[in-house]
Structure 1
Amino acid sequence: MEAHAWYLKLLSAVKPADPDTRGLVKYLVNNRKNGHYWESTRDTAYAIEAIAGYMKASGEDAPEMEVEVAMDGKTLGKVAVNRDNLFSFDGTFTLTGKDVSPGRHEIGIQRTGGGAVYANAYLEVFSLEDRLREAGLEVKVSRKISRIKETGKQSDTVGRTGQPVSQQEERLQRTPLEDGATLASGERIEVELILESKNDYEYLVFSDAKAAGFDAVDALSGYVGNSALGAYMEPRDRTVDFFIRSLPRGTHSLRYQLRAETPGTYKALPATAEAMYAPELRGNSADFRLKVRE
């Protein structure tokens, strides 16, 4: 972060209006630890100093404008922004319940005067749909489920004293399952959570909702041996949770096994991803249906 902050200082002095300069500011803001500060007090100090320098060089520290927010052409509110209230004005507009009718809507933001306008929109909904779809922006999680079958292989080797020894090698055959697949009671499945992150994040929890009628094969909490993420797995009655201290940018996976126990038709609710100290950073997989026969 310190190197990025120094580079931002250089860009602010040479070309403050360049899109690359604004992009670097966004990168620094998006990569705050827990959404509030950077990796260390040193990084935090340099980042704040660089961003403040950019605001001064670009003129964003002295706006003189009025911002109007409207939905479908109807004004929701206006707010005046200037140097005195730049960090204290209330620019939040909330719509709830019947204020948002079904169908397509357009949110409009109009500025009068000079200054930069930054806007974010958050939407929380309760869906009555039968199927829950995958969703997520900065962090995404998807789920794959496979039937597993042990295919042991016996091989001969040499013991410590030179005597011939036969040993059994455990191998697993994975067969991907489609939504609505049928399993026999006692069969095992492997759940693979595929994690996708657009940035480096810290302190996240990935919670996979188990389908009723299935139990975790490994019921003990502990670090996942096949994960380079250092994930700590905690099986619970309804979910299997994975706690990750540091999630690098890119695509990763976590795996664990369940055993089909009780016959019936079940739906596994979506697996969810959430930053523990920045709850607005979240995502979810699609749901999954399974049948268990005797």
Structure 2
Amino acid sequence: DESTRKKNIALLFDINKTNYGMENALRQLEQMQLQNGGWSWFSGGPDDRYITQYIVAGFGHLHHLNVLANEEATMEMLSKAIYYLDDRIREDYEKLLKSKSGADKDQLNYTAVHYLYTRSFFPKISLAQENKKIIEYYQSQSRSYWNTQGIYAQGMIALTMYRSGDKKTAEAIIRSLKENAIIDEELGMYWKSNRAGYFWYEAPIEIQALMIEAFHEIMKDSALVENMKLWLLKQKQTNYWKSTKATAEAVYALLLHGNDEFMSEPSITVSLGKTLVDLSDSPTESGTGYFKKSWNASDIISEMGHIKVSSMNSSRSVSWGSVYWQYFEQSDKITNAATSLSIQKKLFLLGNTESGPMMELVTASTELNPGDVITVRIELHTDRNMEYIHLKDMRAAGLEPLNVLSQYKWQDGLGYYEETEDAATNFFIDRLPKGTYIFEYPLRVQLKGDFSNGITTIQCMYAPEFSSHSEGVRVKVK
């Protein structure tokens, strides 16, 4: 919650704890790096090219800000990762030549563009002679076909060209991006085409952060950068950007160009119909200006839906807030959510008969006893390809998992990492093609009682707005 996040922020000011955390994170990354130099999304899985490029680009951001910790050991690890990426782009090029699809045609893709952007942070790491012509090929493709790409790819191409010395192409791309941008007094500068999607390159916060990086580094236009920062901050709203990935990219963009315009504290009044919120009764928090006001259901009337916020000073400061209705419901009474992702969860009681093992669907009338074994069956359907999915299945307090070891698994051509926790089992899926999938795992009944077995939720980890959940289930043990 909000108070916990504030306590975690305070920990960042403990220098010793921060240094220990950085060293520990570096050790973990070194241990998780595969023999070929790449990283997988989760331990035990295959090397993941995008995850590797994302990690290297993240270190590139730290290197650009001159805050790279333990640089000698870090650069050794990064060199292995960059050589791995060099090998992958060479394989792409060789496949392209063998396919005879026309190397002179538009062969750009987001993976190649992101590789060039990532590689541009580390020009001092040597490039093998056979890879130089490949880099030149994709740079030539970028010069010729940048205008056929989306704004995210265009921003990365502009930075890549600028850092390689081609300022003419970089400035042409930035001019085009500026001409297609929308500038609004309230929302700042943004792009209409910057919409959320299911893939890593369809992430509005990350795209806006990269636009800030490009305009700051190439145009050095403070006014435009501040307008873009305004849109970025507006997306944060009351609590946080939607994922750790988005937050990291946003913070990097904000650190690139410091300005104290957003640090001034505004004086505001809030009215809900005829009800004026008296800030003297709700003291603001030092530094953030945060305050919270709550009403009981009996105090709320319909006219309070007319909300007005007024600023009492003329400083160019940013404020945001929200009004929400909060209520609680038993998890087993939650109904199924209908989205492009659909989940059905069923419990089956395992038993033995004369004709062999059988599975009986657990219903409200099913009698369960301690020692019984239950199979959880989750049916997942998606009508489109998706990436980096988190499936979380909650379970009743009286049930215990038989699979206690977390590990990477393969099933019907689908690779995923299964993690067992005290109250739930998590499935992390890096690639989820269109189709229907079945997940099963066993539980043992341990305690008597009437339990809520919770719901199953699914969410794109880096685009959390794409989510769904199953209906709730109740379990009775005699």
Superposition TM-score tier, normalisation by shorter sequence: 0.5 to 0.7
CA contact (8 A) 2:389 2:430 kept: yes
The separation in 2 between residues aligned to 1:207 and 1:48, in whole angstroms, is 40
CA contact (8 A) 2:188 2:229 kept: no
CA contact (8 A) 1:187 1:259 kept: yes
Correspondence for 1:158? none
Change in CA separation of 1:275 and 1:64 when aligned onto 2, cut-off 3 Å: closer
Q: After TM superposition, give the deviation of residue 248 of structure 1 in Å.
A: 0.9
Correspondence for 1:159? none
CA contact (8 A) 2:377 2:441 kept: yes
The separation in 2 between residues aligned to 1:249 and 1:211, in whole angstroms, is 30
CA contact (8 A) 1:180 1:288 kept: no
TM-score normalised by length of structure 2 = 0.36
Correspondence for 1:51? 150
Correspondence for 2:255? none
CA contact (8 A) 2:189 2:228 kept: no
Alignment of 1:6-21 (within 5 A): none
The separation in 2 between residues aligned to 1:253 and 1:123, in whole angstroms, is 39
Matched, 1:140 2:342: yes
Correspondence for 1:267? 452
Matched, 1:61 2:180: yes
Amino acid across the alignment from 1:291: K
The separation in 1 between residues aligned to 2:301 and 2:471, in whole angstroms, is 23
CA contact (8 A) 1:135 1:285 kept: yes
Q: Of Structure 1 and Structure 2, which has the larger fraction of its residues in strand?
A: 1
The separation in 2 between residues aligned to 1:177 and 1:196, in whole angstroms, is 22
Change in CA separation of 1:232 and 1:80 when aligned onto 2, cut-off 3 Å: closer
Matched, 1:231 2:416: yes
Change in CA separation of 1:263 and 1:94 when aligned onto 2, cut-off 3 Å: closer
Q: After TM superposition, give the deviation of residue 192 of structure 1 in Å.
A: 1.0
Matched, 1:205 2:390: yes
The separation in 2 between residues aligned to 1:123 and 1:145, in whole angstroms, is 38
- Please report the RMSD computed on the Cα atoms of aligned residues, expressed in angstroms: 4.6
Identity of aligned residues (%): 23
CA contact (8 A) 1:227 1:254 kept: no
Secondary structure (helix, strand or coil) at the match of 1:183 reads coil
The separation in 1 between residues aligned to 2:362 and 2:113, in whole angstroms, is 50
Q: After TM superposition, give the deviation of residue 126 of structure 1 in Å.
A: 4.5
The separation in 1 between residues aligned to 2:347 and 2:372, in whole angstroms, is 13
CA contact (8 A) 2:181 2:189 kept: no
Alignment of 1:121-270 (within 5 A): 126-130=326-330, 131-135=333-337, 137-151=339-353, 172-179=357-364, 181-224=366-409, 226-270=411-455
The separation in 2 between residues aligned to 1:86 and 1:48, in whole angstroms, is 25
Q: After TM superposition, give the deviation of residue 224 of structure 1 in Å.
A: 4.2
Change in CA separation of 1:126 and 1:248 when aligned onto 2, cut-off 3 Å: farther
The separation in 2 between residues aligned to 1:41 and 1:102, in whole angstroms, is 56
CA contact (8 A) 1:64 1:81 kept: yes
The separation in 1 between residues aligned to 2:450 and 2:112, in whole angstroms, is 53
Q: After TM superposition, give the deviation of residue 278 of structure 1 in Å.
A: 2.8
Change in CA separation of 1:152 and 1:39 when aligned onto 2, cut-off 3 Å: farther
Alignment of 1:276-287 (within 5 A): 276-287=461-472
Change in CA separation of 1:125 and 1:181 when aligned onto 2, cut-off 3 Å: farther
Q: After TM superposition, give the deviation of residue 195 of structure 1 in Å.
A: 1.5
Q: Relative CO higher for 1 or 2, CA cutoff 8 Å, sep ≥ 6? A: 1
Q: After TM superposition, give the deviation of residue 213 of structure 1 in Å.
A: 0.9
* Structure 1 residue runs without a partner (length 5+): 1-32, 67-77, 106-121, 154-170
CA contact (8 A) 1:182 1:290 kept: no
Q: After TM superposition, give the deviation of residue 260 of structure 1 in Å.
A: 1.1
Write out per-residue CA displacement over residues 144-177 of structure 1, whole angstroms, 9 at most, x where no aligned residue: 1112224576xxxxxxxxxxxxxxxxx6422222
Change in CA separation of 1:126 and 1:181 when aligned onto 2, cut-off 3 Å: farther
The separation in 2 between residues aligned to 1:64 and 1:225, in whole angstroms, is 48
* Structure 2 residue runs without a partner (length 5+): 1-49, 55-108, 118-141, 155-174, 191-223, 240-291, 306-321
The separation in 2 between residues aligned to 1:228 and 1:209, in whole angstroms, is 25
Q: After TM superposition, give the deviation of residue 253 of structure 1 in Å.
A: 1.5
CA contact (8 A) 1:231 1:244 kept: yes
